[in-house]
Amino acid sequence: MKPQLKEFPRGALHIFPSPPSTDLSSPCYESVSNVSCYGGFVDKVISYLPFLSKKSVNVSCSDGLLIKSYPIYPFLVENILKPLDLTDDRYKKVMELMKQNIEEGLHPDTHAKANIKCFPTYVRTVPDGTENGNFLALDLGGTNFRVLLINLDGQQVAMERQTFNIPQHIMLGSGDQLFDHIADCIFKFMCDHHLHEKQLPLGFTFSFPCRQFMCDHHLHEKQLPLGFTFSFPCRQVGLDRAILTTWTKGFKCEGVEGRDIVELLHAAIQRRGDMKNVRCLAVINDTVGALMSCAHSDRNCAVGLILGE
């Protein structure tokens, strides 16, 4: 007798196993882990690996209830994975829904309720592969914050980067705490890379033209433009102005939603007192960054896409 799958209310998935085989060479000894279901349909299978011993499956439901662990068999794995194998008609339906949501996001009458907001980026062109120089890039999109020094020589790209952790208490603290931490990371990166000793035009070349200038030892007399990749939902009102609409990815910093994140960054830099000449000339999200990065090497690239949270 084979195991049976049975649907319960609220999408619960229950497994009734038959007695396992005692033959350790049998191909039925496999397992899956972290299977979640919603409305009776499995939507995530993190991993499944073959083992030469009896293993089990942890099944969780849309209401957060954890059903008991049970032995798992190959045909059951196939049944779990089957809903993930979409038909052509299903793909076409997804395409139609995505197109509809994009159109709603672009139209002023439906923009507010659209799932895909289609905010303007204020980026008017893509790179042509002739960009040259050293530039500074800032990237915040998760629990880590990256500062990068990028050297462009035509199609040749060289990068130096440093990754800084965003502690949990800062992710859940105030906006001032977050941007003070970002400013501290920028300053440490500049000191570690002796930027005050280099001729360094700073900016994010992939998304905006950078003003070229000579940077000597009198940094307090020079303005250092930089670019900021801020990978959270923002309503952009200018190339250097972005209003955070809502936090995602575990961030819940108070006093930031509904405010201009570039303004908050500048305020943090000014509070330090030793980087008042650093100015953000452009802010983009990771989707625009993906487009600009790829377009630098391939002029045929027309769309940037980020799959993830």
Same domain for 58 and 112?
no
- Considering the entire predicted model, what is its pTM? 0.62
Nearest to 283 by CA among 260, 306, 303: 260
Same domain for 70 and 92?
no
Query: What distance lies between CA 51 and its chain's CA centroid?
Result: 34
Same domain for 67 and 47?
yes
Same domain for 188 and 265?
yes
Same domain for 154 and 267?
yes
Structural domain includes residue 38: yes
Structural domain includes residue 306: no
Same domain for 32 and 45?
yes
User: What does the pLDDT read at residue 196?
Assistant: 53
Q: What is the pLDDT of residues 259-304, one digit of tens each?
A: 999 999 999 999 988 887 778 889 999 899 999 988 888 888 989 9
Same domain for 186 and 41?
no
User: What does the pLDDT read at residue 241?
Assistant: 94
Q: What is the pLDDT of residues 210-249, one digit of tens each?
A: 233 223 334 344 566 788 999 998 989 999 999 999 999 9
Structural domain includes residue 304: no
Same domain for 94 and 70?
no
Residues 151-184: b if buried by 16+ CB within 10 A, e if exposed: ebeeeeeeeeeeebebeeebbebebbbbbbbbbe
Catalytic-residue membership of 286: yes
Q: Residue 71 is inside which H or E element, if any?
A: strand 66-71
Catalytic-residue membership of 249: yes
Same domain for 77 and 154?
no
**Could you give the number of structural domains in the chain?**
3
Same domain for 69 and 190?
no
Range of the domain at 218: 132-297
Give the CA-trace dihedral at 238, 247, 179, 256, to 10 degrees. 70
Structural domain includes residue 125: no
pLDDT at 40 over 60: no
- Catalytic residue of the set 249, 252, 274, 298: 249
User: What does the pLDDT read at residue 244?
Assistant: 94
Q: What is the pLDDT of residues 177-191, one digit of tens each?
A: 999 999 999 989 888
Structural domain includes residue 126: no
> Which two tokens mark 55?
């293993």
Residues forming a β-bridge with 228 = 138, 283
